[in-house]
């Protein structure tokens, strides 16, 4: 009977110790897309820039849209996966495929 009680206490202790080692950050699977504009890109300060993010397998539906003005950098936090980004200004549209990895920054320069 004593062995059963001692084994039960040891098992409970091991389970508590093991569960305390799990970190919430282990479950977060996100990365960042950073879009910058080079000096040669002719974007005026008052030009509206629209960034659409789509799943690479479903180019019909936009997952996320972000609007900006001028040539300021745009940062978007996304779950890991393969995506397609469309950057639109008044006179220019750019389409690029990219992959988001956990805790990484993927940079696109236009």
The two tokens of residue 69 are 């003005």
Of the pLDDT bands very low, low, confident and very high (cuts 50, 70, 90), residue 38 is confident
- Strand 30-36 vs strand 105-109: parallel, antiparallel, or unpaired? parallel
Task: Set out the domains of the chain in order of their start, with CATH numbers.
Answer: 28-109 (2.60.40.10)
Of the pLDDT bands very low, low, confident and very high (cuts 50, 70, 90), residue 17 is low
pTM higher than 0.75 for the full model? Answer: no
DSSP secondary structure letters along the chain: -HHHHHHHHHHHHHHHHHHTT--GGGT--EEEEEEE--TTS---TT-EEEEEEEETTEEEEEEEEEEEETT--EEEEEESEEEEEEEE-SS-EEEEEEEE-TT-EEEEE-
């Amino acid at each position: 009977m004593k062995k059963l009680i001692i084994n039960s206490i040891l098992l409970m202790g091991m389970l508590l110790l093991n569960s305390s080692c799990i970190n919430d950050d282990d479950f977060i699977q996100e990365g960042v897309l950073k879009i910058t504009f080079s000096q040669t890109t002719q974007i005026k300060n008052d030009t509206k820039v629209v960034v659409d993010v789509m799943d690479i397998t479903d180019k019909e539906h936009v997952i996320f849209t972000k609007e900006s003005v001028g040539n300021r950098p745009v940062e978007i936090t996304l779950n890991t996966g393969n995506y397609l980004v469309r950057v639109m200004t008044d006179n220019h549209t750019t389409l690029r495929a990219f992959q988001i990895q956990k805790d990484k920054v993927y940079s696109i320069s236009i």
